[in-house]
Every structure is written in structure tokens, then in C-alpha cells.
Chain A
Amino acid sequence: MSVLVVVECDGGEVKKSSLEVASYGSQVAQMLGTTATAIAVGEATEANLALLGEQGISKVLYDAEPRLKDFVNGAYTKLIAAAAQNEDAKVIVLANSNIGAAVGSRLSIRLEASIATNVVELPKTDGGKFVVKRGAFSGKAFADVELAGDRKIIAVKKNSIEALHEAGKTAPVESFSAQLTDADFADAPKEVIMQDQAGGVLLPEADLVVSGGRGMKGPENWNLIEDLAKALGAATACSKPVSDVDWRPHHEHVGQTGITVSPNLYIACGISGAIQHLAGVNSSKVIVVINKDPEAPFFKAADYGIVGDVFDVLPKLTEAVKQLN
């Protein structure tokens, strides 16, 4: 038996969230007295995959089939299921990403496994139970969930597990094939359109986020948000009203019906802090709120706050970051 971790790669690099997944998996393996194998998907290099040894991975499997560079639900599911059978995996760990959830849910049926998504802590295994803590009610609560059965699938929420780094440790990379056929690529993309990331940081993977709300008064003022984000190396985000009126694209909308983020730092500029917005950000480690209204509800959820005009405060912050660097 073993633990299998699913590692997502992009442009040759292992995604940061997958380093956390690998670290989670190797720690679960240790708890169960076994080893963790990784199966890599996406565009990877052998050198980068070998470095998963630093996260405690014993072996990495990789299928160099070119059609697997883009996400294909059918093919990814078959590949990972084959790896799970091959490794006799009792626990499978994935990222709580769009890919992880799409594949994990199918795998749970195919492998007759129980599954928990949005998991934020290592499992507790007292008294023969297998219990994981997961986010529920859109970040407003947590649930301890018992996973039944012989096989378990866990999708780990970003930035909730510290990645391990045992410098210099490498893992052997082995080629692995699941005998994929054309039928497995039925949902292969006709086209992949990536967001313009010129100098930007991808929001779902970001450690630092600068976000703007209606208090920014219009899309023409977003340079203030972007300048601070650029100085910090942060991603930009926005509140629902802002994406509803198309000041910013939908994929930047953070909140209950947008995306949920859990960065180390979330700076909210001109956002009042409606309960639906807080749901999308309240697992951020540090929250900073800048708002001219001292009664804005967001201040109650904040660690640091500035009561002031965003148009006055933001340039000062950008300047201070530049000086610090």
C-alpha cells in the first residue's frame, strides 16, 4: 500500500499548491507507515519532478504523452486511476483546484473511495477513524468529516499546509503509461486561452493579493491597485459589484460566488466587507483594510486597518514598498 499524490505542473514547473499537496501526502504516508508516490500531470521537466524529493516524495511517475499537457478530464482520471491501482494507493491527495476537484470526484466513483475536498489540516486517525478538517459554508465554518472505507481521496486547500523543503533530496522519475486511447481525450480542449499575465501574478496561486471594491470609483483608477500589487509582487482581485459592472474580469471576483482565496496577505481597498465577500477571503493569514468609512464592517475582520481615502493612501503604500525594497 502507499499514498499517491497528484502533482499539477505548468510550463515545466510544479505548481506551488502541488508542493503543498506533495508535503501533505508524504506526511500522511509517514503516519500510515508507508511511502508517497507522485503522479505528475501537465507540462513538466524531469529535473523539476525529481526535486519533489524535497517534499518527501519517494518516486515520481510521469506520462510524457503530449496531449496530457492540457487538462483533459477523461484522460487525467484514467491515468491517475491506473497509477493508484499500480501503487495500491489507499490515500490519494490532490489540490483543491478546478483540476483536482474535477478529477477527484470521478476517481471517487471509479476507485470506490470516500472523498473530502477543501481540506485544511492533516488527518486525525485516533480510534481507527480517519477524520479530516475541511472548510464549509463558503469559508464561514469548518467541518470535521469522517471518511469511510478502504480508500480515501483528499483535496487540499491552497496555503493551508506548509510545504516541506528537505534541500537537496531527490526522487527517481519513472515513465508511466495508462494505455490511453482517443476515447479518453473526448473532452480535450480545442483551444486553451490563458489570461494575460504580463508581469502579473495568478490570483488562485498568489501569496499576496491587492483587491479593490466600489470605493475605487471606476476602472480607470485601477492603476493604483496595480501599482501596489506590482511593487509587492501580488495578484489583483476585486469584489462582486466591481466584476458585475465589468470594471474588472469575472476571474478576479473574490467572494462566496466567486473564487475563495487564502493568501498570506489580503489588502482590501475601498471594499465595505459584505458577508459574502468576507466568506471568500477570511482564511487569509493577514487582512488589511483601507476604507474611508470607519464603520465599514470589513474592519471587524481585519488585522490592520487604515481609515482613509484610497486615492491618498494607496500611492503612499506603493512608495513605502519601493523604499523598503
Chain B
Amino acid sequence: MKFLVCISNVPDTTTKITFTPDNKEFNKAGVQFVINPWDEYALTRAIELKEAQGAGTVTVLNVGEADTEPNIRKALAIGADDAIRVNAHPKDAFFVAKQIAAIAKEGGYDVILMGKESIDYNGFQVHGMVGELLGIPTVAPAMKLDMSGNTATLEREIEGGKEIVEVNAPFVASCQQPMCEPRIPNMRGIMTARTKPLKVVEPTTDAARTEVDTFALPPAKQGVKLIAAENAGELIKLLRNEAKVI
């Protein structure tokens, strides 16, 4: 079975977010980039399923400029077989979905996995767009994924519970915990990753449908009002009479 795992390159979760002086772009200076944490579930689960099947391939796909390659190599070190980078700045979800759909179609992948959303743009859209562009089902967000032959059984999270869903390949799933324990690269993986194929292709379209006008930071808090622990009940009165939230 051919797995395609889409990863994005995002600022580390501990990053303090700042923007360029015109507030048009994220300020990358001094920021450590990582594989999007949600995508790590997709990557590890694809490798596990391939290992269980004893055959197949896991291809990693990233839409990004050359500075994303260290994290693509990391995905190869974790256990993907080869990688494709679409050489472009990811303009918006639609742009990224179009590139993924074109690669998926050409490569004839059976299972297309990615994280639920990226922790930078938080769109939660690419999986549905890819499924629709390819005319195949998307299961999002998936907390569990098992394969038996051509059929996948997934747990789809809904507000307040989950649905057990069965779909046949090809399909798209967006992944989140507790799907698996994301793997980290070992020394052997890091060594072999250097020679695994990483193909760079140009985007098939430059169409996008949205554009960021400005970024802004949330307003700062006014400062905390402290209540003495002995007098804890006072807090409840403040929440009722001052904050008016209970």
C-alpha cells in the first residue's frame, strides 16, 4: 500500500509569536521550526501500518521553500522511504491542497494522511479540500486508524463523542492523538535519511483564494487580582458581582 503523508513546517510550540514591522508576515528570526505536531501522528501511524503490512511505501510531502528540508530529512529519519517537496511558499489552504491533490493523483497513493491542522495557521481545511479535489472520502479528525486489506476502520471525533467509520482506500484522514505514540529518529534512521530520495518539484498552479491583510497579537491582560487563600469564598462573589460570569 502506498502512503502519502503531508507535513508542514511550523514554529516550535514554545515560540513567542511576533510579526514583521508591517504586521504582514510571521517573524521567523531566531525561531526553531519543527514538524507540525499533529502531522507526527500521521507519519508514525503510516510507518506502523506499512510495517504491519510488510510491504508498501511511505512518502512524505511538504509544500514549502528550501528551508523546510531539515524537517523533511527528519521525517525520513523517523522512517519514511522518500520525500517530495513542492518548491513554493504555502500561500493558503487552497493552494496547498491543490499541490497535494496533483501529487496524489500522479503518484496513485492509496492512503493520504496529515495532521488535523497546522499549529500556525490552524485552518483545519486541507484534508477536506484534498478529498474533495480527488473525489474520495476524508475522515477528519481521526483518533484511530486500522487497516485490513483495502478497508480502513477509523474513529472520528465529534463534539461529545466519536463515530466508528469504515472506508475503502483511497481516502484521506487527518490525524490526532491518541492514534499512536509519535516516533523520534534514532541514529541509524538519521544516517540512512541522508541518502533517501528527496525530489523537488515546482507548483502546478499558483491559485489562492485568501490573503492575510494583517496579523495582530491579542490585547494584554490588565493584571491579576489576587485573593487571599483564607478568603477563597470572596472569589466567587467577585465572579458573580464584578466579572458577572456566574
8 Å CB contacts to A: which residues of B108-125? 119-125
Is A250 an interface residue when CB atoms closer than 8 A count as contact?
yes
Is A302's CB within 8 Å of the partner chain B?
Answer: yes
Nearest residue, chain B, Cβ from A284: B245
Chain A residues within an 8 Å CB radius of B225? 303-305
**Bound-state Cα–Cα, A122 to B161, Å:** 30
Instruction: Tell whether A202 pairs with B160 under 8 Å between CB atoms, given A106-B128, A117-B125, A250-B177.
Output: yes
- Given that A189-B156, A208-B245 are contacting pairs, would A300 and B138 also be in contact in the complex, using a CB cutoff of 8 Å? no
Closest CB of chain A to B96's CB: distance in Å? 12
| A108 neighbours in B (Cβ, 8 Å) | 94, 125, 128-129, 132, 209
Docked-complex contact B140 and A102, CB < 8 angstroms: yes
Given A317-B235, A324-B236: A276 touches B229 (CB 8 Å cut-off): no
Tier of interface size on chain A:
35 or more
0/1 string, A102-118, CB within 8 A of B gives 1:
11111011100111111
Question: Which residue from chain A places its CB closest to the CB of B16 in the assembled complex?
Answer: A275
Could you tell me if B229 and A141 are in contact, using CB atoms closer than 8 angstroms?
A: no
Q: Residues 302-322 of chain A: 1 if any B CB is under 8 Å from the residue's CB, otherwise 0? A: 111111110011001101110
Q: Cβ of B161 and Cβ of A194 under 8 Å apart?
A: yes
Query: Using Cβ atoms and an 8 Å threshold, which residues of chain A touch B211?
Result: 145-146, 148
Q: Are B226 and A186 in contact (CB under 8 A)?
A: no
Chain B, interface size category, equals 35 or more
Contacts of A50 in B (CB 8 A): none
Main secondary structure of the interface of B (DSSP, over half): mixed
- Indicate if A285 sits at the interface (CB-CB under 8 A): yes
The yes or no answer to B55 lying at the interface (CB within 8 A) is: no
Q: Assuming A117-B124, A256-B119, A303-B224, is B216 touching A99 (CB within 8 A)?
A: no
Whether A67 sits at the interface, judged by CB under 8 Å, is no
Are A191 and B215 interface neighbours, CB within 8 A? Answer: no
User: Chain A residue with minimal CB distance to B216?
Assistant: A142
In the assembled complex, which residues on chain B have CB atoms less than 8 Å from the CB atom of A323? 233
How far is A190 from B93 in the complex, measured between Cα atoms in Å? 31
Say yes or no for A272: interface residue by CB 8 A criterion.
no
Known: A275-B14, A320-B233. A189 touches B209 (CB 8 A): no
> How far apart are A103's CB and chain B's nearest CB, in angstroms?
8
Q: Which residue of chain A has its CB nearest to the CB of B168?
A: A186
